[in-house]
């Protein structure tokens, strides 16, 4: 069951190297720019393909690892070629397998999947090392849990030792928004805190050097605990005056970020300390509390 890649970028390089490292046969790479496909083939010890037709001939499973916006166009190219009885996958977080419309038609008899590693794949050459600890979500068009059967794609990731979670097609956008919140938006939060430290006289570097270990230790607690178990701070303590002082000090977007996320912290505080009265805190944070 050889796997072929269309799109020799960060995810194509990384998945190809990961698969070959787990004894999964990879036929090789086709890409828009032949140089990228050659480099990926060299990196993974697999083949270079000058045409999509040649890649399809040698591959049972085809991963489209182009940018999201090119997936529909590549699927059009695949349909125009002979893709009978193949498995077609893309790696977009937000798009579902519904982009492979007509894949199950008798003339194609293909199965379509969207398969997403929950990892920021930032490097063509190094990110594969992080894939062994990565959760993969798989979506194969099945709308109900009972229809999501174990199959060779599921078996492939489990054989690599990865946890796999199945998604419904209608949940992809929400799932990806959650992934963005936990990844990219954390950077936005770090930037917000750094801005305020800079307002206190820190250089940007001093601010980030101070914040990174602080944030890392906090997140590390989540490995073994629920968020409410490790929550500290003025909202959890019920220090209303401290929270009011913060709200008076901050301005514009940073104030709003503080207020909205404090609403989330308040819901956690209520879970942690059901006996405490957080009513005044809730009023100070207005109606932004979100349970």
Ligand X SMILES: NC(=O)c1ccc[n+]([C@@H]2O[C@H](COP(=O)([O-])OP(=O)(O)OC[C@H]3O[C@@H](n4cnc5c(N)ncnc54)[C@H](OP(=O)(O)O)[C@@H]3O)[C@@H](O)[C@H]2O)c1
Closest Cα to residue 87, out of 3, 167, 183?
A: 3
Least distance to ligand X from the beta carbon of 121, Å?
4
Long-range contacts of 151-155 (CB under 8 A, 24+ apart): 152/1, 152/87, 153/61, 153/87, 153/89, 153/113, 153/115
Judged by CB under 6 A, the chain residues 121 through 160 that form the site for ligand X are 121
3-class SS of residue 275: coil
116 binds ligand X per the rule CB under 6 A: yes
Q: Taking CB under 6 A as the criterion, which residues in 12-41 touch ligand X?
A: 12, 31-33, 36
Q: Is 66 in the site for ligand X (CB under 6 A)?
A: yes
Residue 10 binds to ligand X (criterion: CB under 6 A): yes
Residue nearest to ligand X (CB): 9
Nearer to ligand X, 128 or 258 (CB): 128
Interface segment toward ligand X; rule CB under 6 A; list 62-70, 166-174, 248-256, 265-273: 62-70
Establish if 93 lies at the interface with ligand X (CB under 6 A): yes
Select from 91, 110, 153, 156 the one that contacts ligand X (CB under 6 A). 91
CB of 9 to ligand X, least distance (A): 2
Minimum distance, C-beta of residue 270 to ligand X, in the bound complex (Å): 35
> How distant, in Å, are the alpha carbons of 48, 149, 214 from that of 167?
33, 12, 33
Pick the closer one to ligand X by CB: 68 or 154. 68
Does position 67 bind ligand X by CB under 6 A? yes
C-beta separation of 136 from 116 below 8 A: yes
3-state secondary structure 154-170: HHHHHHCCCCEEECCHH
CB of 61 to ligand X, least distance (A): 16
Degrees, nearest 5: CA angle 31-136-159: 95
Task: Considering the complex, state which of residue 120 and residue 150 has its C-beta at the smaller distance from ligand X.
Answer: 120
70 versus 197: smaller Cβ distance to ligand X = 70
State yes or no: residue 44 binds ligand X (CB under 6 A): no
Q: Determine the Cα–Cα distance for residues 94 and 287; give it in Å rounded to an integer.
A: 31
Binder of ligand X out of 7, 28, 47, 112 (CB under 6 A): 7
Q: Which is nearer to ligand X, 9 or 282 (CB)?
A: 9
CB 4, CB 55: distance < 8 Å: yes
Enumerate the H helices of the chain as residue ranges. Answer: 10-21, 34-44, 52-58, 68-80, 152-159, 172-182, 184-199, 204-220, 227-230, 234-237, 240-249, 252-272, 279-284
Q: List contacts with ligand X (CB under 6 A).
A: 6-12, 31-33, 36, 65-68, 70, 73-74, 90-93, 116-117, 120-121
């Amino acid at each position: 069951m050889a796997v072929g890649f269309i799109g020799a970028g960060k995810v194509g390089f990384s998945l190809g190297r990961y698969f070959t490292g787990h004894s999964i046969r990879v036929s090789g790479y086709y890409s828009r720019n032949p140089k990228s496909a050659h480099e990926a083939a060299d990196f993974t010890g697999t083949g270079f393909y000058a045409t999509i037709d040649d890649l399809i001939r040698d591959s049972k499973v085809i991963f489209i690892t182009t940018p999201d916006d090119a997936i529909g166009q590549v699927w059009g190219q695949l349909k125009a070629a002979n893709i009978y009885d193949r498995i077609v996958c893309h790696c977009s977080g937000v798009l579902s397998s519904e982009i492979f419309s007509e894949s199950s038609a008798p003339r194609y008899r293909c199965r379509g999947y969207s398969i997403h590693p929950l990892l920021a794949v930032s490097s063509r050459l190094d990110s594969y090392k992080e894939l062994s600890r990565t959760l993969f979500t798989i979506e194969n068009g099945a709308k109900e849990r009972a229809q999501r059967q174990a199959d060779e794609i599921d078996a492939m990731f489990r054989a690599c030792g990865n946890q796999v979670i199945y998604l419904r097609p209608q949940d992809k956008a929400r799932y990806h928004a959650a992934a963005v919140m936990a990844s990219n938006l954390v950077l936005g939060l770090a930037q917000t805190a750094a801005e305020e430290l800079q307002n206190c006289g820190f250089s940007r570097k001093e601010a980030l050097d101070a914040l990174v270990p602080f944030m890392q230790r906090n997140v590390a607690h989540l490995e073994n605990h629920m968020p409410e178990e490790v929550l500290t701070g003025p909202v959890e303590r019920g220090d209303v005056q401290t929270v009011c002082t913060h709200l008076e000090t901050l301005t514009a977007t940073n104030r709003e970020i503080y207020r909205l996320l404090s609403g989330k912290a308040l819901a956690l505080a209520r879970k942690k300390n059901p006996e405490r009265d957080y009513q005044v805190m809730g009023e100070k944070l207005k109606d932004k509390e979100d349970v």
